[in-house]
Amino acid sequence: MRRVCLTITGMVIGILAAFSQNAPADTSGFKSRALKIDEINILSSYYTQTADKSAVSGGDPGPRGIGNVTDLSNGLEIKLVGWDPKGRKNSLTGGIGMDNHTAASQAYVDSSGRGKKTGTRIYPTVDWTIENETRGTSFGIGAYYSAEHNYYHSVGLNTSFSAKTKHNGEFSAKLNGYFDRIVMIRPSELIPVDSANVTTSPTTDSVVYITTASGRTEALNYSTGQVLSKGGQVRIPSSSRDSYSASFSFTQIINQRLQGAILIDFAYQTGYLGLPFHRVYFADSSTAVVEKLPTQRVKLPIGLRLNYFLGDNVILRGYYRFYIDNWGIRSHTASLEIPVKITPFFSVSPFYRYYIQSASTYFAPFKVHTPADEYYTSNYALSAFSGQYFGTGIRLAPPGGIGSKHLSVLEIRYGHYTETTNLVSNLIGLNLTFK
Amino acid sequence: MLALAATAVSCLPSCQSVKEYQKSRLNDSEMSLGNRKIEKEELNFQAYREGSSGANGGKTGGGCGCN
């Protein structure tokens, strides 16, 4: 962690040093071919959530089902642009993000509720795009990495292609693959005992593995509770989850004020698609089992965007999505955002989003599933519910910069989200763009 | 959904020819058809709180962030 912080600090100092010199004006009209810093974005956000019926506690509506969350997210993204000898524009974007969260439900991975609530996620990204401005085509590749306490890693790779049409349209295609290793952290009462060292009548030499809520495994003496080893000396087993998607979009300028886009994704997931610390309680039973879900999932979302410039100061940003998958979920999402330009460089953007979904075939509330069910989960993200999200954003982008000529854009956005599952959350975000 | 698709397709033949110098409004940053960076986190939490994802330029898998 210290190394990551030092790396980020070093990068920021390097950027400031680069900005401290004024490049001589280019009067020749010749485009520099070397990659140069074009844009830097610093993103921060703070998320809070209150909820009950957490998946960790099997949807228990009681105190154990608490699902409160806070999450502080910070990210840095640097975009470099240059032109190669063939006159093609090359963009190299590197980023790193870090989330620090507290999750009340995480404490209940340990049945006593005393598990560790905090965790960190780190996710670097890199993308490279080559754009032929003459032909109107572009090609890109990218990579993504993420690690957190319940994932050993998630590695993502993507490639994309886009081409402009003769009639102010653009077609884009993107292929994505994510390859995850899920740490099989089980609820504490379901942690398998090391069968090699445990007999039907445990002796003082028997060993049990305890998985803490932070994902650390400790080997304990069965009888005395003495810690024999800890801190990664015993690696928790993992399972794979692979996600593939093909994303297609077509954008079209319709007139001088209106443009739209159609977006279609085909997504396929295979592997362990539940989470090993999500409990399910069967009817008439107080003993938990781990949720069980199919090992394959196919998703088909289709989206439509329409943006309209109304008059001289108002923009209407509309979006609709229909979603269907083979787990039985159908959903509709509709949103409208109305940026109002108070001045040409300052806008206020109220927005509203409505979401509704049907339940997955595999979902049932606390103590409703039966052992006869082939698949079972009490994760309320797979239940039938509707949600509303509304809030406001502001955007400031004066031509001379904000305080400094390098700080070109400042955006703040706040949103409030409510679900019919009793989940309520708030999110505030800040984005600073340096040029 | 079919009605929306039909509406979208029916719009295409009626598209006007728009020259570069006529795109001042279309090129406004608020008219972008892609997601803005400030929306990144809300797309992230929606993907994990809701049972569906995709067709919005965001991730369709990978990692958890699910606490």
Chain A residues whose beta carbon lies within 8 Å of the beta carbon of residue B42: 389, 413, 415, 427, 429
* ipTM score for this prediction: 0.84
Task: Report pLDDT for A226.
Answer: 67
> What is the distance between the alpha carbons of residues A308 and A326, in angstroms, rounded to a whole number?
35
- Using an 8 Å Cβ cutoff, are A314 and A350 in contact? no
As a whole number, mean pLDDT of residues A44-60 equals 94
Task: Report pLDDT for A117.
Answer: 87
Q: To probe the interface with B, which of A431, A432, A433, A435 has the most B CB atoms within 10 Å?
A: A431
Most confident region among A156-165, B7-16, B51-60 by mean pLDDT: A156-165
Task: Report pLDDT for A150.
Answer: 82
As a whole number, mean pLDDT of residues A287-316 equals 95
Res. B62: pLDDT tops 90: no
Give the chain B residue whose CA is nearest to the CA of A40: B37
Chain A CB within 8 Å of residue B50 CB: yes
Task: Report pLDDT for A427.
Answer: 97
Chain B CB within 8 Å of residue A384 CB: no
Distance spanning both ends of chain A, measured CA to CA: 29
Q: What is the mean pLDDT of chain A?
A: 87
Res. A398: pLDDT tops 60: yes
Q: What is the pLDDT of residues A79-128, one digit of tens each?
A: 999 999 888 999 999 999 999 999 998 888 888 887 888 889 999 999 99
What whole-number percentage of chain A has pLDDT above 90?
70
Res. A208: pLDDT tops 90: no
Task: Report pLDDT for A192.
Answer: 59
Chain B CB within 8 Å of residue A216 CB: no
> What is the distance between the alpha carbons of residues A188 and A24, in angstroms, rounded to a whole number?
64
Chain B CB within 8 Å of residue A150 CB: yes
Task: Report pLDDT for B18.
Answer: 85
The whole-model pTM stands at 0.85
Res. A194: pLDDT tops 90: no
Q: Residue B52 and residue A331: Cβ atoms within 8 Å?
A: yes
Give the chain B residue whose CA is nearest to the CA of A422: B49
Task: Report pLDDT for A222.
Answer: 61
Q: Residue A325 and residue B52: Cβ atoms within 8 Å?
A: yes
**Å from A257 to nearest chain B CA?**
6
Chain A residues whose beta carbon lies within 8 Å of the beta carbon of residue B35: none
